[in-house]
Structure 1
Amino acid sequence: MRQLDDFEERMRRAATQAIVREAYHQTVGEQEDEQRRPTASAQAWRATWPRRWPKTP
């Protein structure tokens, strides 16, 4: 009986891990789809950032 309980626990754990893994991959995929390239204004601002800081002696 103990072996059956252990087996069922391992199966339950594996099923839970599969559900969590699938949810994780779906979330990561959605986040990657939502990422967009910076706009032209953001790129222009980034191009000027070294000039924004005072030079150190």
Structure 2
Amino acid sequence: MKLFVGLSVSLEKTANCVISEHGKIVREAQASELEELACWIGRLDGTIAVLGPEAGALSQWV
């Protein structure tokens, strides 16, 4: 299954949402540290088609 991952970055946390190729929300979470985010993404069941971080000054570390 193809997955689409969106990351909404703020100063305190990053909100993460995964949507299936059929438009259904598969998983939502919050991860603030890069290692935590990498683990969260690595545990997804499917193929990541697109990973889209929010465009802005706070998302450049991602």
- TM-score class, shorter-chain normalisation, is under 0.3
Q: Larger strand proportion, structure 1 or 2?
A: 2
Structure with max Cα Rg: 1
TM-score computed with the length of structure 2 as normaliser: 0.22
- Larger relative contact order, structure 1 or 2 (CA cutoff 8 Å, min sep 6): 2
